[in-house]
Amino acid sequence: MFKTVFIKKNERGLLMERGDFVRVLESGEHRLSLNPFKRQTVTMVAADSEFTDEALLNYLQKNEVALVERYLHVFELNDQEAGLLYANNKLVETLAPGIRRAYWKGDIDFVLEKADLSQGYEVDKPLTQRIKQSWLKGRELKGSEGLLAVMIPAYHVGVLKIDGKVVRLMTTATEVFWGFNRDISVETVDMRLQNQEVSGQEILTKDKVALRISLIATWQFSDVLLAFAKLNKPAEHLYRELQFALREAIGERTLDTLLENKQSLNKLLLDAVQVKLASFGIDVTSVGLRDIILPGEMKTILAQVVEAQKAAEANVIKRREETNATRSLLNTAKVMEENATALRLKELETLERVAERIDKISVFGGLDQVLNGLISIKQ
């Protein structure tokens, strides 16, 4: 007694007897025995699909070499190889080291391209272009976590680290690296001038006045490789050095000195951090105090001091002007004493001023009479 099994052109059949492999059935009709002692079964699989039975694959590779060559694509990678799997010349998957893959032969032509990881961590340029094209076309690439693609924007560089060690700089470009068997990371670094703010620093001056001070510094990398080789986080190191320099400078000066010589303090801070950071590949171009905030009671005291100083200055100016006016009158009197004409002119000037304030004047006895009368009145 038999039963008929039909296998389509895009299928394969695995004939099993009592759960053990017998042979591969190709497309077409096949008659199977219904003998209950044989217990024959057929497992249908799609052509071009992955062969997932690892135990059966081990048996076939060892005992059915000709069958494997006829029906299967088998790809194996050692621990120092990565693979790129192509299906009909289209990149579809990245394979990790030390794995094995098998696919049924059919209409899809599977090809594996191997890469020797011991020769380097960089994906060569032709392969990089193929990977980029695959991504640009929106095709999903399986196993892409094994690839690290990095694009460096303009005015930036990339610090490439392999297993935590700085290797080289990356310029403005796109590069792809193998991520298998190693830890690869790229830190993007801005090469333009940058600002670093140190704000809200509570510092005591030499005369024990508590100040809240903020400063801002302008800086850029002069040697990126040196900075990242010596420092884990260069920006944080810069912040700490600015903070230490500020505290040291403020602690050595009194409040009056700080308020009077703010510009010289900026220069002092700049020189201090430049010396310390030059050996770390960091160039600080400017440092400036932005805010100096006094406690509330200190503001009141300083306002009173300034008010008293300004009042004293005003009093001095007033006395100086009074002295100058008195000296001027004395000089005028001496001139009129020695010169009758000058005295006469002064008298006329006085008469003119009096006339300006009087609506009507009646003169009897002539102008000389009026002048003599005025002089008599003054006397």
Name the residue ranges covered by the structural domains of the chain.
194-294, 339-379
Q: What is the pTM of this model?
A: 0.60
**Gyration radius from the chain CA atoms:** 49
CATH architecture of 194-294: 2-Layer Sandwich (3.30)
* Digitized pLDDT (tens) for each residue of the chain, 379 residues in all: 678 888 888 888 888 888 888 888 888 888 877 666 667 888 888 888 889 889 999 999 999 999 999 999 999 999 999 988 998 888 888 899 999 999 999 888 999 999 888 888 888 888 888 777 766 566 677 877 888 888 888 889 999 988 888 888 888 778 888 888 888 888 899 999 999 999 888 888 887 777 888 899 999 999 999 999 899 899 999 999 999 998 888 888 887 787 777 778 888 899 999 989 989 999 999 998 887 777 656 556 555 555 666 667 777 777 787 787 777 777 777 777 777 776 666 667 776 676 666 666 665 555 566 556 655 554 4
Note the pLDDT tens digit of each residue in 131-174.
777 665 666 778 778 888 888 888 899 999 888 888 888 887 78
Residue (of 258, 256, 254) closest to 266 by Cα position: 258
- The two structure tokens encoding residue 207: 């005369």
